[in-house]
Amino acid sequence: MRICFVCLGNICRSPAAEAAFAHLAQAEGVEVEVDSAGTADYHIDSAPHHLTLAEAERRGIAIDHRGRQFSAADFDDVDLVVAMDSANERDLLDLARQAGPGAAEKIVRLGSFEDDVDPQDSSTIRDVRDPWGHGPEVFEAMYDHLDQGLRGLLRHVQKQQAGQQSGQQSTRQPGTQ
Ligand code: 4NP
């Protein structure tokens, strides 16, 4: 599964989410392709924020990313586009209108994968707060918050992959691979 994490600037939340999810998936032996992007063009080619990098290092998470802006064409290359907050989600839905059919259905907010969300009530989905301009403790809290949604996302990916495998098995003809 190909997943792109999206925030505003692509230097704080989404590169952290991309790296933390890759780390988690690898630890659990789950195969995913990850990427991240911003809805804005403020930090194209920039390294992640120094506090995003510092907290990743403290947690033993590798980050290797340069800022890029999400475009309508990116919907074709991914299965899931994971927004950090409701403003990112709205901007992505605008872009999805310029993209092909099925694009909007790929958009989801990370908070929707947290344990305490009521699936019937989108007001219970929490945004991942923008830490830009804040100190190291806010970046530490950002990673803690990301972790909750990312663990739920990983369970979702595992279920999808298990479903795909059993689907493949049930459609496989006897005597074929
Ligand atoms: P991010 O944080 O969306 O989590 O990467 C921000 C980084 C930079 C800006 C805004 C948010 N900015 O306005 O430059």
Dump pLDDT digits (tens) for 20-57.
999 999 999 999 999 999 999 999 999 999 999 999 99
pLDDT score of 172:
45
Instruction: For residue 41, indicate whether it is catalytic.
Output: no
Give the mean pLDDT of the chain: 94
pLDDT at residue 115 tops 70: yes
Choice among 35, 74, 85, 130 that is catalytic: 130
The residue from 4, 7, 12, 74 that is catalytic is 7
Q: Is residue 66 flagged as an active site residue? A: no
Percent of the chain with pLDDT over 90: 88
Closest CA to 139 of 43, 45, 53: 53
Ligand 1 centre distance from Cα of residue 11 (Å): 6
Residues with CB under 6 A from ligand 1: 7-13, 42, 130, 132
Question: Would you say residue 177 has pLDDT above 80?
Answer: no
Alpha carbon 55 to its chain centroid, in Å, reads: 18
- Phi and psi (nearest 5°) for 146? -55, -40
Q: Is 109 a catalytic residue?
A: no
According to the model, what pLDDT value does residue 119 have? Answer: 79
Ligand 1 center to 13 CA (angstroms): 8
Which of these is catalytic: 4, 12, 13, 35? Answer: 13
Q: What angle is formed at CA 15 by the lines to CA 4 and CA 132, rounded to 5 degrees? A: 125
Q: Give the whole-angstrom CA distance, residue 89 versus residue 74.
A: 15
Q: Which atom of ligand 1 is nearest to the CA of 128?
A: 4
Ligand 1 nearest atom to the CA of residue 11, by list position: 5
